[in-house]
Amino acid sequence: MSDDIVLVIGANGQLGSVLIKELQNIHGISKVIASDVYLDSNFEGVFELLDATDIDSVHSIVKKHSITQIYHLAAILSAKGEQQPLKTWDLNMKMTLNVFEVARISTVNKVFFPSSIAVYGNKAPLQKSPQSAFLNPATVYGISKAAGENWAQYYFTNYDLDIRSIRYPGVIGYQSMPGGGTTDYAVDIYHSAVKKQTYNCFLNADTKLPMIFMEDAIRATIELMQVPKAKIKTRTSYNLGSMSFSPSELYEAIKKEHPGFEIEYQPDFRQGIADKWPKSIDDNEARNDWDWKPKFNLKSMTSVMLEKLEEKYNTTKLKE
Ligand code: SER
């Protein structure tokens, strides 16, 4: 066990709620402080209510627990962000800069900041998008992540603050639900299949996007945070590749195990967001610098997703 005391901001979210358990295993339950704007009734561990837009609150929790590492996972995502652009910018940037600034002036020596494939726009090659392509994000979420990446590099260059970052593809897991993203369909569809409902997809059948299974996303995060500082050459954010597929390819993979499953396509405004995002990602830097390698593909992910969700819904039915 390490001597680190870890603060997770956005602990109730899709990634946070799963990452917390992994961090509790690594550091010990008492050394992981979960925080969010409300307490989830199922949460087990140390919890602090925290509105990260208030820098004094962030600072006082860091001081209270002598925090040494922060995982800052709270943000408004791509689709929801477009409904309230100015609020999204304000909130995402305020939280990110509060975390970086508190880390700079406190006991914190390492920060994890998640970025996203949303930093890309139509000026980058959208097949195998390179790490250092020109970024012209089209959503407020993407703009805030691209700005956050540059601020991460600024704090590293000027203050030697060890901020580490990954540009996540769409994250797919059975443990938690995403909210407000453009890649959310790829989680929702599994729930519909297991509940034997027709899935109404908000993207076109052939919209390919980069995706990653939760287990791989969590492992990548932990591996990046554990690698010696000198190995980290990218101080904006690392591209992270895993798999790429379209709704129709995902549907076919599910249909192999659920032959009666049906899908309908009703693209909405999220189609316009997805069209400007990479279809696949070049992650050579992550592979070379810290040995990143995904384990899951569409087939192996689908079989775990269906098995775990079937277990979950059957248990719920038994309890009713
Ligand atoms: N999954 C996110 C979204 O769809 C992208 O990072 O907004």
Domain-embedded: residue 288: no
Q: Are residues 117 and 195 in the same domain?
A: no
Candidate from 184, 213, 242 with most ligand 1 atoms within 8 A of CB, to mutate: 184
Side chain identity, residue 135: L
Please report, for the domain that includes residue 257, its CATH number: 3.90.25
Domain-embedded: residue 269: yes
SS3 114: strand
Q: Are residues 271 and 151 in the same domain?
A: no
Question: Which ligand 1 atom is the nearest neighbour of the CA of 141?
Answer: 7
For the whole model, what pTM was predicted? 0.96
Q: Could you tell me how far CA 61 lies from the centroid of its own chain? A: 23
Give the separation between CA 52 and CA 33, rounded to whole angstroms. Answer: 14
Domain-embedded: residue 180: no
Q: Are residues 221 and 256 in the same domain?
A: no
From the CA of 66, how far away is ligand 1's center (Å)?
A: 32
Q: Are residues 259 and 307 in the same domain?
A: yes
Candidate from 15, 113, 116 with most ligand 1 atoms within 8 A of CB, to mutate: 116
Q: Are residues 14 and 160 in the same domain?
A: yes
Q: Are residues 92 and 155 in the same domain?
A: yes
Q: Could you tell me how far CA 6 lies from the centroid of its own chain? A: 18
Domain-embedded: residue 285: no
- Using CB distances shorter than 6 Å, the residues near ligand 1 are 77-78, 116-118, 141, 168, 170, 181-183
Domain extent, residue 263, equals 185-209+243-276+296-319
Identify whether 154 is a catalytic site residue: no
Q: Are residues 254 and 130 in the same domain?
A: no
Q: Whose CA is nearest to atom 6 of ligand 1?
A: 116
Domain-embedded: residue 139: yes
Q: Are residues 199 and 310 in the same domain?
A: yes
Query: Total domain count for the chain?
Result: 2
Please report, for the domain that includes residue 29, its CATH number: 3.40.50.720
pLDDT tens for the chain, 320 residues: list them: 679 999 999 999 999 999 999 999 999 999 999 999 999 999 999 999 999 999 999 999 999 999 999 999 999 999 999 999 999 999 999 999 999 999 999 999 999 999 999 999 999 999 999 999 999 999 999 999 999 999 999 999 999 999 999 999 999 999 999 999 999 999 999 999 999 999 999 999 999 999 999 999 999 999 999 999 999 999 999 999 999 999 999 999 999 999 999 999 999 999 999 999 999 999 999 999 999 999 999 999 999 999 999 999 987 665 55
Q: Of the residues 71, 141, 155, 251, which is catalytic? A: 141
Q: Are residues 23 and 53 in the same domain?
A: yes
Domain-embedded: residue 12: yes
Domain-embedded: residue 62: yes
Q: Are residues 131 and 81 in the same domain?
A: yes
Q: Are residues 190 and 52 in the same domain?
A: no
From the CA of 211, how far away is ligand 1's center (Å)?
A: 10
From the CA of 287, how far away is ligand 1's center (Å)?
A: 22
Domain-embedded: residue 20: yes
Q: How many CB atoms lie within 10 A of CB 186?
A: 23
Question: Which ligand 1 atom is the nearest neighbour of the CA of 178?
Answer: 1
Q: Are residues 168 and 268 in the same domain?
A: no
